[in-house]
Amino acid sequence: MRMPEPDAKTIARRARIARDLRRIVPGDGVIVDEDGLRAYECDGLSAYRQPPLIVALPSTTEQVSRVLRYCHENAVKIVPRGAGTSLSGGALPLADAVTLGLGKFNRILDIDLANRCVVAQPGVTNLAITQAVQAEGFYYAPDPSSQIACSIGGNVAENAGGVHCLKYGLTTNNLLGLEMVLMTGEVLRLGGKHLDAGDYDLMGVITGSEGLLGVITEVTVRILRAPETARVVLMGFPDNESAAATVAAIIAAGIIPAGLEMMDRPAIHAAEDFVHADYPLDVEALLICELDGPEAEVTHRIEQVESLARHHGVKTLRVSASDAERALFWAGRKAAFPAVGRISPDYYCMDGTIPRHALPTVLSRMAAMASHYGLRVANVFHAGDGNLHPLILFDANTPGELERAEQFGADILKLCVEVGGVLTGEHGVGVEKRDLMGEMFSEIDLMQQQRLKCAFDPGQLLNPGKVFPTLHRCAELGQMRMSGGSMPFPEIPRF
């Protein structure tokens, strides 16, 4: 597919901005040719594609600062991009915006074992941080399935999770410090190697802000000592309800597994066909429960988990006897997405979070929806923290199926909100769930979010069109005008 020809005005604007940016980012760091731009036309949500106006690839904080300041002064929109693995379209380009790629920020700057942290540039991959410290017996805990490719800066922007986040927290719980550049070009340093600082938690706001507040140029993360022992209990159940009840019982018993994942029948079969992880095929639901810690604790916890599972009618139960077997049990789970890709021409990966007790309800209502829409769904999820990843199977070449899949997905997310959960667990809102934000947040909630956005980017040049269903002009949010101490705030609901 060829790109549509840009109009004369766009061509002239592109040439002018590229010329200016080349004065800031030298060498081959500014891309304007069609093939070069096409490489950046989508991220992990590849149903949406749009080549950017220009791609800029700075390699220093100074360059990022000068690019942002230039764009700020000339009202040029900017879309920051890490490794481009976002599943919600967070790095989707705009036809009239510069995509700012952080790929050249690929160095680890400091390994500080005494303070148990690593300082890295944002383009370093998640896995590379663990690899840099594993010989010393340490690791970085959050482990998204894309960890071989996704960048730590993108992890911060999306507040990425992973199978080990139940016990060790999401990115936000493992982040100690940031350097970031504001849209004005100002450089902020937040946090450091110490714990909580005595100011507003800007670092918390930046984490998960999806590139709308600033561009991250350095990340300091906490690393953990690798546990003495880690073993996996693989449990097959005759139905989803008994698996869900076992999850609840494990958590209620005060056990926090290092990972507690659930797969339903379609996901089990797809994964087993693909990686031969030795999963039982005569069950409806599979739990993968990893316990880690001192040997004595792990042995004790495994006995408790076994006993709880038997109480809830487990059909097959196996404990990994070696690290190789543990890796095999995980391999099926970690390959579940591509495995499902083998059994369906297309699939759509959802990401919602629900309170744990609602698991059985949500699973049975999703099954009813699947039959309503005439589409199959495979479920793979972080059961321990209630984070669902339903995979809706469809064929984009069958007219109407994509639309039905999208409608089905929206219904699932609305259901998550209805039972007291949220629209997203770890994939972000991006463009994918933007129009569903109103299902979860009131007009007041969204306006306060946007007032905060205005405090960082009043010109609304950073990653526009993401997250918020409609973005008010900052002036409309009442921050701009003051008269006699009273502010023209929007109408407040009266009791």
Q: Which of residues 423-482 bind a second copy (CB under 8 A)?
A: 423-426, 428-429, 433, 437, 440-442, 444-445, 448-449, 451-456, 458-459, 467, 474-475, 478-482
DSSP letter at 225? Answer: E
What part of residues 146-185 is at the interface with a second copy (CB under 8 A)?
159, 170, 172-173, 182, 184-185
Is the Cβ–Cβ distance between 99 and 81 less than 8 Å? Answer: yes
What part of residues 21-60 is at the interface with a second copy (CB under 8 A)?
none
Listed ranges 26-34, 148-156, 263-271, 295-303: which one lies at the site for a second copy (CB under 8 A):
295-303
Separation in Å, CA 6 to CA 51, 95, 168, 267: 11, 9, 48, 44
Under rule CB under 8 A, how many of the chain's residues touch a second copy? 109
Does 66 bind a second copy (CB under 8 A)? Our answer is: yes
What part of residues 104-133 is at the interface with a second copy (CB under 8 A)?
113-116
Listed ranges 72-80, 90-98, 230-238, 334-342: which one lies at the site for a second copy (CB under 8 A):
72-80
What part of residues 407-426 is at the interface with a second copy (CB under 8 A)?
420-426
CB of 256 to a second copy, least distance (A): 9
- Number of other residues whose CB lies within 10 A of the CB of residue 202: 17
| 131/448 with CB nearer a second copy | 448
| 400/493 with CB nearer a second copy | 493
Does 269 bind a second copy (CB under 8 A)? Our answer is: no
The backbone torsions φ and ψ at residue 289, rounded to the nearest 5 degrees and listed phi first, read -120, 115
CB of 103 to a second copy, least distance (A): 21
CA 271 to chain centre: 22
Is the Cβ–Cβ distance between 48 and 431 less than 8 Å? Answer: yes
Q: Report d(CA 52, CA 38) in Å as an integer.
A: 8
Does 198 bind a second copy (CB under 8 A)? Our answer is: yes
CA 310 to chain centre: 35
Q: Which residue in the set 6, 103, 204, 238 belongs to the binding site for a second copy (CB under 8 A)? A: 204
| 182/377 with CB nearer a second copy | 182
Separation in Å, CA 217 to CA 82, 290, 351: 11, 34, 28
| 11/113 with CB nearer a second copy | 113
Q: Which residue in the set 16, 19, 107, 189 belongs to the binding site for a second copy (CB under 8 A)? A: 189
Is the Cβ–Cβ distance between 335 and 407 less than 8 Å? Answer: no
What part of residues 332-351 is at the interface with a second copy (CB under 8 A)?
none
Does 360 bind a second copy (CB under 8 A)? Our answer is: no
| 125/159 with CB nearer a second copy | 159
Q: Report d(CA 138, CA 324) in Å as an integer.
A: 19
The backbone torsions φ and ψ at residue 103, rounded to the nearest 5 degrees and listed phi first, read -60, -25
| 334/382 with CB nearer a second copy | 382
- Number of other residues whose CB lies within 10 A of the CB of residue 228: 13
Torsion angle in degrees (nearest 10) through CA of 339, 340, 345, 349? -130
CB of 194 to a second copy, least distance (A): 5
Separation in Å, CA 156 to CA 176, 231, 283: 11, 29, 37
What part of residues 246-265 is at the interface with a second copy (CB under 8 A)?
248, 251-254
Q: Which residue in the set 174, 385, 409, 466 belongs to the binding site for a second copy (CB under 8 A)? A: 385
| 133/283 with CB nearer a second copy | 133
CA 246 to chain centre: 27
Does 85 bind a second copy (CB under 8 A)? Our answer is: no
| 373/389 with CB nearer a second copy | 389
In sign, the C-alpha dihedral spanning 489, 490, 493, 494 is positive
